[in-house]
């Protein structure tokens, strides 16, 4: 990995401090603010700091919150490659030097979607660097892959349409620069990562809380959405059977729960140090 540089971009505005971290040929924008226990919020694929602003603002009431954009997302620079390992490098760069980051203790690491998978791998490979994990609708050891040959045409069309819609966000804090092919390849890679993720959980000796959607793919009757939702729930059941110390909370929502149910998500995160799983009405 290339040497990391941290460069302030402006003076603090209110209680927020903005700076950048440069590594591996990309520049990662970081924001820190709030008070209380340190918390690092890792976004997922097609998710930006700007998109997570409501959740971050709620968490800042009780936490010293660090947010950032992954390469090719938001205000981060584009990259020549987008892979699980490259994104994991972005998270590692942000967490590489707590002193430089300004944290006075190991943070609670909160990851959404792909960010949850990145968080699990980071914690497994860097013991002692985080105080606990909160995994939001990701890092799920699902029994079956999502991207299968029979559904590939539908996924490809969906991601091509998503890339077209993203054109309207170019040049803004919500932009995503990945192509439909980038997203397809990443989702195939994520399926493979999740097929092996149980081994990563076995390497972690930390409090872990999961916040999962009951209908990850939405309400779709008997079609592919029902199959995806069943696969999602089966993955969590599989994990909790093997790791009963993990507290799993369910929110009646789809995969966009961090946007539609931010207060519920924030409340569970605030209580992540203890308690048991449960269900919140949507």
Q: How far apart are CA 232 and CA 84, in angstroms?
A: 20
Predicted local distance difference test score (pLDDT) of residue 196: 97
How do the pLDDT tens digits run along the chain, 282 residues long?
333 454 443 333 358 999 999 999 999 999 999 999 999 999 999 999 999 999 999 999 999 999 999 999 999 999 998 999 999 999 999 999 766 787 889 999 999 999 999 999 999 999 999 999 999 999 999 999 999 999 999 999 999 999 999 999 999 999 999 999 999 999 999 999 999 999 999 999 999 999 999 999 998 767 889 999 999 999 999 999 999 999 999 999 999 999 999 999 999 999 984 333 444 434
How far apart CA 209 and CA 245 sit, in angstroms, is 9
Which of 217, 196, 54 lies closest to 139, judged by CA? 196
235: helix, strand or coil: helix
Question: Residue length, the chain?
Answer: 282
Q: What angle do CA 10, 12, 17 make, to 5 degrees?
A: 90
- Rounded CA gap, 199 and 146, in Å? 20
- Look at residue 221 in the predicted model and tell me its pLDDT: 66
Does residue 137 come out as left (phi exceeding 0), alpha (psi in the -120 to 50 range) or beta? left
Strand boundaries in 35-175, DSSP class E: 37-42, 63-68, 108-112, 132-136
Superfamily of the domain at 5-142+196-280: Alpha/Beta hydrolase fold, catalytic domain (3.40.50.1820)
Question: Which among 250, 266, 6 has a CA at the least distance from the CA of 140?
Answer: 250
Return the ∠ at Cα 65 (arms to 108 and 264), rounded to 5°.
75
């Amino acid at each position: 990995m290339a040497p990391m540089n941290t460069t302030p971009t402006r003076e603090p505005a209110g209680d927020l401090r903005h700076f950048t971290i440069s590594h591996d040929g990309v520049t990662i924008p970081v924001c820190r603010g709030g008070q209380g226990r340190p918390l690092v919020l890792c976004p997922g694929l097609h998710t930006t700091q700007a998109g997570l602003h409501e959740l971050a603002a709620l968490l800042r009431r009780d936490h010293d919150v660090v947010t950032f954009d992954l390469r090719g997302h938001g205000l981060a620079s584009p990259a020549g490659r987008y892979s699980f390992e490259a994104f994991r490098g972005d998270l590692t760069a942000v967490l590489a030097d707590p002193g430089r980051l300004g944290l006075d203790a190991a943070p609670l690491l909160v990851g959404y979607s792909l960010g949850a998978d990145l968080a699990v791998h980071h914690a497994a490979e860097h013991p002692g660097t985080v105080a606990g994990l909160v995994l939001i609708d990701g890092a799920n050891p699902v029994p079956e892959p999502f991207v299968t040959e029979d559904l590939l045409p539908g996924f490809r069309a969906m991601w091509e349409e998503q890339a077209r819609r993203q054109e309207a966000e170019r040049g803004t804090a919500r932009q995503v620069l990945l192509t439909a092919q980038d997203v397809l390849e990443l989702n195939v890679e994520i399926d493979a990562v999740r097929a092996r993720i149980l081994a990563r959980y076995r390497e972690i000796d930390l409090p872990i809380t999961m916040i999962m959607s009951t209908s990850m793919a939405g309400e779709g009757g008997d079609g592919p959405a029902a199959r995806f939702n069943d696969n999602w729930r089966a993955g969590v059941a599989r994990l909790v059977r093997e790791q009963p110390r993990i507290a799993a909370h369910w929110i009646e929502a789809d995969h966009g729960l961090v946007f539609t149910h931010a207060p519920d998500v924030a409340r569970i995160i605030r209580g992540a140090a203890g308690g048991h799983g449960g269900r919140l009405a949507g």
